[in-house]
Chain A
Amino acid sequence: MAKLQMKRIEILALLESSKEILDLLQVKGIVELNERVECDFFTNLNTHSSAGLFQKHLEQAKAAYDILSQYAVGKGSLFASLEGRREITVTDYLQKSESKEMDEYLQQSIKINLLDKSIKEDQIELAQIKTQKEKILPWLALDIEAQTKSTAQSKVFVGHLPQAYRKEELEENLTVLLDDESFFHLDIIDTEKDRTYITLISHDCCAQDVDKGLKLLGFSPVPDELRGIPAEQLKALEDKTRALESGIESKTNQIKELVVCLENLEFLIDYFSLRIEKYENLEKLSIGNNVFFINGYVAEKYADSLAKELKSKFSALVTVTQPDEDEDVPVLLSNKPFAAGVEGITEMYSLPGKDDYDPNPVMAFFYYALFGIMLSDAGYGLLMVLAMLFAKLKFKLEGNMKKTVDMFLYCGLSTVVWGALFGSWFGDIIQVVASEFFGKEIPSLAIWFEPVDDPMKMLLYSFLFGIMHLFLGLGIRFYTLWKNNQKLDAVLDVVPVYLLVTGIAPIGAGVVISTIPDSISSLGKKMALIGALLIVLTSGRSAKNIIGKLGGGLYALYNAGAGYMGDILSYSRLLALGLSTGVVASVVNLLGTMPQNKVLKAIMMVAVFIFGQTVNLAINLIGAYVHTNRLFFVEFFSKFYEGGGRAFTPLKMNTNYLKIKEEK
């Protein structure tokens, strides 16, 4: 199991069965169709206009769905997205999609959009009315029409002055500015901190003079939008507000009543998505007068049965061939759950290229192991396992979500194992509870040893795991080159590095531990020397002259030395992250034991434990994930992996809400 072998499939069939054949391919979901090749004998189908119409309907349905989900309880939450898709058989799906109900669904989606649009318009109008009302409020006491400018014999000034005045004060101020014979009648309607709202009446004969005086005081007339008697206008606006509000309420209720249609909209969205995808793929057909032609890729294991089915159902000519060397064949991975868990990690880096093997089956074990060493707490591992099992039992997981859950399940299991080896169960909670509450001293629970007691030992083991990991990567390089008939390259690229690193390792370890027997370190010296010589002598083999060969060899030795040393040192993060999980977990436990009183201590411990361990778990979970990825992307993949593959994207039932199943 690994990278599936791809075959090229070519179908030539009668034009009249083109849609049916495409339907069949879409339901099967195992063929990736290629773009049409330009050719004189065939034309192509232009589906832009129909696809455009479907797109419009799809957007409408999606908008309606978003509107409805605001009113539906429990939709759009994290758990809802885990609940999986509704199952429906192909026959039921086709029956439903051709029934009259579809029109009804479409009408529902249009109605919801219209209602929502009209609610939004009403809300805008409400906001406008609110600002209008605010403008009227100071004028409420005005009992004439606001825009009154004159009567038969007099001029009327309605407006405000930019200052607060008392009546006598204003009369006095104005009189000073006017001619002696000018007179007027002033009413103050309202005063604010820096404003006075007034009406002023003067006889026609002195109106001009009064007007001038008022202007000097900064008078501005009442705004144009104030019409009629303000109190009446306010009442009218309030009536309108009430009408709009009840309108919004009834429209909202209408939408709420349509919440039951949510499933219809889901069907509609999936239906249009499928139609659009199919129509886009129809453009890939090469169309002649009576026949059409199409080609694509299909996995070898499905190819024959598909060809047989096509031939028996339609009058079609189907050929299955081996793709050419230089074709851009898409990559489809197929692994057992244990290895499929890390497919997402590989995909994040790059899919396997043409000459690569699928790395997932060999990397899965190490991925889980390294993750476990970094998280290294059995309690945390147990929590992960329980959470992932719960997710698997409770929800119908599919595709990438299922792979991710599987990955964390295995990571959790590995964490339990390493945690038990290192004796860390939520830090040292068992020992702490035993000694604080029962006065019993429990010795270390470690099956192997506690890294915090002997960090040096753990550091050396980290390097050892690192060397094993790197050697595995190199081994895959060897295998790939060998299978590719580059046997000499396979031996010369890999064996000298094995010798060099294996030889230097005991010497390096000897710096910190003195118990390495002399025989081993002297053997190591010899191995390293042979390895180094081999690298110098053979790595420059592609250069043309002897100086180039030697120069290339020396450079390769420097690269191998510095590169592998850096790579191996990088695995020290296994120790660092492991320590940081365990020690912080123990600190949390210690904080909980601070009160002297036993009851208080118990309460404090529970509270600190739950909060502290949750935070620690979250931080270290992310740390372990990120750093395990790094060890694979930077240290491991660089040894053998080319990448650059293109993902297989078949024409299929690409749905969000429905899971359309083929009947057996």
Chain B
Amino acid sequence: MMENLGTILAVLGAVIAAVLSGLGSTRGVGMVGQAAAGVITEDPSKFGKVLILVIMPGTQGLYGFLTAFLQLVQLNIIGSGFEPVSLTKGLMYFGACMPIAVVGYFSAVAQAKAATAGVGIVAKKPAESGKALTFAAMVETYAVLALLISILAMFSITGLNI
């Protein structure tokens, strides 16, 4: 148990990244989906336009999944040649997962709010749907930054000799 504690922490971090950002995306996609369904009852031809908005808060879940997967590969849990990592390294891996876990959750929910408002734009002024997309995409920037720092930290930690 003790010798594996580092690995356990690292896996825990990966799991939290996947779970939290997945939860955020679930909530987000659900929220926008409800608003979109309202528009479709009035005008089914707008399906394509609102669908893009519905999917947008879904990417955070993907980022969390991506981080978790890459972490499991780094730990050689997926693949072969497993060796336990030190407690220090495990804690670092755990920390590396936190940006996408936390930012992923909150940015998915915030993006869903922007996208839900965007559904309103599509309903009233379909020609302006590109702008609705842009507002929602602005929120995503921070999820992208969190993903990047998580992945870069993770790759860098693997190279450390501690």
Instruction: List chain A residues, Cβ under 8 A from B147.
Output: 576, 580
- Chain A nearest Cβ from B50, distance in angstroms: 12
- Given A348-B131, A576-B148, A580-B62, does the pair A626, B56 have CB atoms closer than 8 Å? yes
- Near A by CB (< 8 A), chain B positions 127-152 give 129-131, 133-134, 136-138, 140-141, 144-145, 147-148, 151-152
CB-based nearest A residue for B152: A455
A88 at interface, CB cutoff 8 A: no
Q: Verify A349–B130 contact, CB threshold 8 A.
A: yes
Q: Verify A583–B52 contact, CB threshold 8 A.
A: no
If over half of A's interface residues share one DSSP class (helix, strand or loop), that class is named, otherwise mixed; here it is helix
A183 at interface, CB cutoff 8 A: no
Cβ-neighbour of A569 out of B58, B138, B145, B152 (below 8 A): B145
- Chain B nearest Cβ from A277, distance in angstroms: 20
Could you say which of A158-166, A167-175, A628-636, A648-656 contacts chain B? A628-636
Could you say which of B5-13, B33-41, B63-71, B84-92 contacts chain A? B63-71
Cβ-neighbour of B70 out of A577, A583, A634 (below 8 A): A583
Q: Verify B148–A633 contact, CB threshold 8 A.
A: no
Bound complex: CA A576 to CA B99 (Å)? 14
- Chain B nearest Cβ from A476, distance in angstroms: 20
Instruction: List chain B residues, Cβ under 8 A from A572.
Output: 144-145, 148
Instruction: List chain B residues, Cβ under 8 A from A623.
Output: 59
Cβ-neighbour of B69 out of A348, A570, A587, A619 (below 8 A): A587
Instruction: List chain A residues, Cβ under 8 A from B58.
Output: 619
Cβ-neighbour of B152 out of A456, A622, A626, A627 (below 8 A): A456
Q: Verify B152–A619 contact, CB threshold 8 A.
A: no
Count of A interface residues, CB-CB < 8 Å: 28
- Chain B nearest Cβ from A101, distance in angstroms: 31
How many B residues are at the interface, by size bracket?
Answer: 20 to 34
B55 at interface, CB cutoff 8 A: yes
- Near B by CB (< 8 A), chain A positions 556-582 give 569-570, 572-573, 575-577, 579-580
For A466-496 the 0/1 string (1 means CB < 8 A from B) is: 0000000000000000000000000000000
Bound complex: CA A503 to CA B78 (Å)? 43
Q: Verify B62–A619 contact, CB threshold 8 A.
A: yes
- Given A572-B145, A573-B141, A579-B151, does the pair A619, B66 have CB atoms closer than 8 Å? no
A459 at interface, CB cutoff 8 A: yes
- Given A580-B62, A587-B69, A619-B58, does the pair A348, B130 have CB atoms closer than 8 Å? yes
CB-based nearest B residue for A452: B70
CB-based nearest A residue for B137: A630
Instruction: List chain A residues, Cβ under 8 A from B141.
Output: 570, 573
Bound complex: CA A479 to CA B137 (Å)? 30
A115 at interface, CB cutoff 8 A: no
Q: Verify A629–B148 contact, CB threshold 8 A.
A: no
Instruction: List chain A residues, Cβ under 8 A from B148.
Output: 459, 572, 575-576
Q: Verify A583–B66 contact, CB threshold 8 A.
A: yes
Bound complex: CA A572 to CA B145 (Å)? 7
Cβ-neighbour of B59 out of A455, A459, A619 (below 8 A): A619
Bound complex: CA A570 to CA B151 (Å)? 16
Q: Verify B138–A619 contact, CB threshold 8 A.
A: no
CB-based nearest A residue for B140: A627
Instruction: List chain B residues, Cβ under 8 A from A459.
Output: 148, 152
Instruction: List chain A residues, Cβ under 8 A from B133.
Output: 626, 629
Q: Verify A580–B134 contact, CB threshold 8 A.
A: no
Bound complex: CA A575 to CA B56 (Å)? 18
A584 at interface, CB cutoff 8 A: yes
Q: Verify A627–B137 contact, CB threshold 8 A.
A: yes
CB-based nearest B residue for A570: B141
Cβ-neighbour of B52 out of A348, A349, A573, A622 (below 8 A): A622
Bound complex: CA A576 to CA B58 (Å)? 15
Bound complex: CA A584 to CA B129 (Å)? 29
- Given A569-B145, A570-B141, A622-B55, does the pair A633, B66 have CB atoms closer than 8 Å? no
Q: Verify A626–B69 contact, CB threshold 8 A.
A: no
13 residue pairs from A and B, CB less than 8 Å apart:
A345-B130, A455-B152, A456-B152, A569-B145, A576-B63, A576-B148, A576-B151, A580-B147, A584-B65, A619-B62, A622-B52, A626-B52, A633-B134
Identify the 5 closest CB pairs spanning chains A and B, nearest first.
A348-B130, A630-B137, A576-B144, A573-B144, A633-B134
Beyond contacts A619-B58, A634-B134: 10 other A-B pairs, Cβ-Cβ < 8 A, are A348-B129, A569-B145, A573-B144, A579-B66, A583-B69, A584-B62, A627-B140, A629-B133, A630-B138, A634-B138
Binding site for A on B (CB under 8 A): 52, 55-56, 58-59, 62-63, 65-66, 69-70, 78, 129-131, 133-134, 136-138, 140-141, 144-145, 147-148, 151-152, 155
